[in-house]
Amino acid sequence: MSESESNFKFAFYLGCIAPNRYPGCESAAIKTCKKLGIELLPLKGASCCPAPGAFGSIDLNVWYAMAARNLVLAEQMKMDIALLCNGCYKSIWEVNHKLKHNQDLRDGVNEVLKEIDMEYKGTINVYHIAELLYNPKYVGPEKVRDSITNPLTGARIAVHYGCHLTKPHKDREFEDEVMLNTEHPVWMEDLVAALGATPVEYRNKMQCCGAGGGVRGYDLVHSLDITNEKLINLKEVGVDALTDICPFCQLQFDRGQIEIQEKFGVSYNLPVLHYCELLGLAQGMSPQELGLDLHGISCEPFLQKVL
Amino acid sequence: MSIMARTKGYPEALEKKLRDQRYYREDSNPDFLKNVKTISRTIAHMCYQCGTCTGSCPSAPRSSYRIRNFMRRAVLGLENEALTDPDLWLCTTCYSCTDRCPRDIAPTDVIMAMRNLAFKRDIVPVNFLKTVQAIYSSGHGVPNNDVNRAAREKLGLTRDPPTTHMYPEYVKGIQKILDHYKLKANADRIVKEREG
- Which of B101, B120, B139 finishes a domain? B120
**A83, pLDDT greater than 70:** yes
pLDDT tier for residue A230 given thresholds of 50, 70 and 90: very high
- Which of B84, B103, B120 finishes a domain? B120
Average pLDDT value over all residues in chain B: 92
**A254, pLDDT greater than 80:** yes
> Does residue B9 form part of some domain?
no
Q: Are residues B99 and B173 in the same domain?
A: no
Domain A144-306 class, CATH top level: alpha beta
**A3, pLDDT greater than 60:** no
**B1, pLDDT greater than 90:** no
Measure the CA–CA gap between B88 and A147, rounded to whole angstroms. Answer: 47
- Cβ-contact A13, A6 below 8 angstroms: no
> Does residue B14 form part of some domain?
no
Provide the pLDDT for residue B109.
Answer: 98
Measure the CA–CA gap between B182 and B187, rounded to whole angstroms. Answer: 9
Q: Counting Cβ atoms within 10 Å, is residue A199 exposed (0-12), middle (13-18) or buried (19+)?
A: buried
DSSP B141: S
Q: Are residues B39 and B106 in the same domain?
A: yes
**B23, pLDDT greater than 90:** no
Q: Is A24 on the interface with B (CB under 8 A)?
A: yes
pLDDT tier for residue A283 given thresholds of 50, 70 and 90: very high
Measure the CA–CA gap between A190 and A175, rounded to whole angstroms. Answer: 17
A43 contacts on B by Cβ (under 8 Å): 162-163
Q: Are residues B114 and B171 in the same domain?
A: no
Strand order of the β-sheet with A198-200 is A198-200, A156-160, A241-244, A272-274
The secondary structure of A162-223, three-state, reads: CCCCCCCCCCCCCCCHHHHCCCCCCHHHHHHHCCCCEEECCCCCCCCCCCCCCHHHHCHHHH
Task: Give the tens place of pLDDT for each residue, B107-118.
Answer: 999 999 999 999
Of B44, B47, B48, B28, the C-alpha closest to B36 is: B44
Average pLDDT value over all residues in chain A: 97
A48 contacts on B by Cβ (under 8 Å): 135, 139-142
Provide the pLDDT for residue B10.
Answer: 66
**For B166-184, what is the mean pLDDT?**
98
Q: Given phi > 0 = left and psi -120 to 50 = alpha, else beta, which region is A242?
A: beta
Minimum-distance CB partner of B177 among A43, A69, A206:
A69
Of A129, A114, A19, A128, the C-alpha closest to A68 is: A114
> Does residue B184 form part of some domain?
yes
Nearest CA in chain B to A61: B181
Q: Which residues pair with A241 in a beta bridge?
A: A157
> Does residue B19 form part of some domain?
no
Q: Is A21 on the interface with B (CB under 8 A)?
A: yes
> Does residue B39 form part of some domain?
yes
This model of the complex carries an ipTM of 0.96
CA distance readout (Å), A228 to A167, A207, A261, A264, A295:
22, 11, 10, 9, 18
Q: Is B157 on the interface with A (CB under 8 A)?
A: yes
> Does residue B2 form part of some domain?
no
**A197, pLDDT greater than 70:** yes
**Torsion sign, CA atoms A261, A266, A271, A273:** negative
Q: Counting Cβ atoms within 10 Å, is residue B191 exposed (0-12), middle (13-18) or buried (19+)?
A: middle
Question: Which helix or strand (DSSP H or E) is residue A156 part of?
Answer: strand A156-160
Of A85, A230, A261, A260, the C-alpha closest to A158 is: A230
pTM: 0.94
Provide the pLDDT for residue B3.
Answer: 44
pLDDT tier for residue A1 given thresholds of 50, 70 and 90: very low
Number of domains making up chain B? 2
**Domain residue limits, chain A:** 8-128, 144-306
- The topology (CATH level 3) of A8-128 is Glutathione S-transferase Yfyf (Class Pi); Chain A, domain 2 (1.20.1050)
**A99, pLDDT greater than 90:** yes
**A215, pLDDT greater than 90:** yes
**B4, pLDDT greater than 60:** no
Measure the CA–CA gap between B182 and B175, rounded to whole angstroms. Answer: 10
CA distance B64 to chain A (A): 12
Of A158, A161, A252, the C-alpha closest to A210 is: A252
Domain span at residue B43 reads 26-120
Interchain pair B96, A167: CB under 8 A: yes
Interchain pair B93, A52: CB under 8 A: yes
Q: Is B102 on the interface with A (CB under 8 A)?
A: no
B59 contacts on A by Cβ (under 8 Å): 215, 222, 226
DSSP A126: E
Q: Is B146 on the interface with A (CB under 8 A)?
A: no
- Amino acid (one-letter) located at A6: S
Q: Which residues pair with A128 in a beta bridge?
A: A83
- Cβ-contact A123, A96 below 8 angstroms: no
Q: What percent of chain A has pLDDT over 90?
A: 98
Q: Are residues B93 and B147 in the same domain?
A: no
**Count of pairs with CB atoms under 8 A, one residue in A, one in B:** 213
Q: B20-58: b or e for each residue (b if 16 or more CB lie within 10 Å)? A: eeebeeeebeeebbebbbebbebebeebeeebbbbebbb
The interface residues of chain B toward chain A in range 42-81, judged by CB-CB distance below 8 A, are 58-59, 62-63
- Which of B120, B145, B170 finishes a domain? B120
Q: Counting Cβ atoms within 10 Å, is residue B92 exposed (0-12), middle (13-18) or buried (19+)?
A: buried
Q: Which residues pair with A13 in a beta bridge?
A: A83
**For A35-59, what is the mean pLDDT?**
97
CA distance B161 to chain A (A): 6
Provide the pLDDT for residue B21.
Answer: 64
Q: What is the three-class DSSP state of A36? A: coil
Q: Are residues B131 and B104 in the same domain?
A: no
B143 contacts on A by Cβ (under 8 Å): 16, 20
**A249, pLDDT greater than 50:** yes
